Structure 1
Amino acid sequence: MGRRQAVSPELFSTKQRILDAAEELFASHGFVGASLRQVTSTAQVNLAAVNYHFGSKDNLINEVLRLRLDKLNADRARALQAALAKSPVRLEDVLGAWIRPALAVSTNERGGTAFVRILARTYAEQNERLRAFLHDNYGHVLRDFTAALGALLPNLDKQELYWRMDIITGALTFAMADFGTIKRRGISAEEHRDLTADHLVRFAAAGLRA
């Protein structure tokens, strides 16, 4: 069996610097507004390094999205399986599996704010290529949640369920961005996040049951 070639720490550092710079620039200026020249300047690398690690700007955008979305959707999938393993299965637990991992990612001190802005831009920029990327790579997670919710809410047809999930996800994105009138006062960020999740789960459950 051949020896596995070690990844050079310098190469890893270069790739990570490019990803970090791209994430912040895409969050601030959008996918169209941020140029590769800006990315290379911020990361202090040359264009050849970007081409070597990513091949194109589109591939770089995909990898920036994967930075958070791979972990987020893996966490959601695990949380959903845990919710479905309970007896009886509760609507609030399924919703919590959708909501709580997203709030945890958004409050991550390293890049959480940039992630929320990038996620918003993904939909706001009406980029069909990006929407196709999200659908192809992460659409199965939404389908799994919709199936679980559909089993708990047989009175809702599929179209109505997707409408309500779309609205719930909009409210979740709003909460992830820390908008609104309720601000953290006298409690830790983790306590505020948990309170936000509790309120949003109750609100979403009431909306789905209505």
Structure 2
Amino acid sequence: MAKPAHFSTKDRILGAAEELFALHGFAGTSLRQVTSQADVNIAAVNYHFGSKENLVNEVFRRRMDEMTAARMGQLEKARIDHPGELRPVLAAFVEPALAMAQDRQSGGAFVRVIARAYAEKNDSLRKFLSDHYGHVLREFGKAIAACVPQLSKEELYWRLDFLAGSLTYAMADFGLIKRPAGVTESAHRAHAAQELIHFAEAGFRASAAAPAPTPLSTP
């Protein structure tokens, strides 16, 4: 059964917007550029999204909803099959993200869009992401805390922030380790996931950092 025309139009707009946001950023991309690339008129963008702000949000929702579902499903399985074990929890956070990034056709541009979100100050987008996906980090925070109860909440969230940043870098594949000749993209990403999980596990199990020294008072 053929998809309704309005669906294909909406999908074309989202695909064009994602590519252009990846290339030019959110502020640097106009709705005219999006409509030209998607081969639609401005009325179609207004009909489906209402505003550029909503279009930006929907570009994220299209990918984030799928990745979130995969993460939460894998996390639930880890809690049931491996209670109290840290590594399966970390795998549930890392593996779905790298799997999405591996898909060069659909995931490659979105990885660059994520990088734009980090680089550009966009309070509206950050609020949208916090409101809709902040629960994912909180849920992983609770699952990790159960595995490493010796960490304070502050220590836990510092380390979770560092893991999220490292994961974004790994998704972008900017690192020193490049895919060797003869190794498939899937195998390379799987290796990257295992290395990151191993690194993160050591980080979460490390002793608490020594407190910063108190500055000497001057007379």
Shorter-chain TM-score category?
Answer: over 0.9
Structure number with bigger Rg = 2
Within the candidate set 134, 140, 147, 1:145 is matched to 140
Residue 8 of structure 1, CA deviation: 6.3
Gaps of 5+ in 2: 207-219
Residue 85 of structure 1, CA deviation: 0.4
Q: Which residue of 1 aligns with 2:193?
A: 197
Gaps of 5+ in 1: 1-5
Q: Which residue of 2 aligns with 1:52?
A: 47
Pairing 1:160–2:155 present: yes
SS at match of 1:37: helix
Residue 9 of structure 1, CA deviation: 2.6
One-letter amino acid matched to 2:24: H
Contact 1:83 1:89 (C-alpha < 8 Å) held by counterparts: no
Within the candidate set 76, 84, 91, 2:86 is matched to 91
TM-score, with normalisation over the residues of structure 2? 0.90
RMSD between aligned alpha carbons?
Answer: 1.4
Contact 1:116 1:176 (C-alpha < 8 Å) held by counterparts: yes
Distance between the aligned counterparts of 1:71 and 1:144, measured in 2?
Answer: 17
Residue 7 of structure 1, CA deviation: 9.2
Distance between the aligned counterparts of 2:82 and 2:196, measured in 1?
Answer: 23
Change (3 A) 1:98 1:87: closer
Q: Which residue of 1 aligns with 2:130?
A: 135
For residues 94-146 of structure 1, what are the alpha-carbon distances to aligned partners after superposition, in whole Å with 9 as ceiling and x for unaligned? 00000000000111132211111111111211211111100100011110000
Contact 1:123 1:131 (C-alpha < 8 Å) held by counterparts: no
For residues 38-97 of structure 1, what are the alpha-carbon distances to aligned partners after superposition, in whole Å with 9 as ceiling and x for unaligned? 001111111001001111111111110011100001100001001100244311100000
One-letter amino acid matched to 1:130: L
TM-score, with normalisation over the residues of structure 1? 0.94
The 5 Å alignment of 1:5-154 reads: 9-154=4-149
Contact 2:98 2:193 (C-alpha < 8 Å) held by counterparts: yes
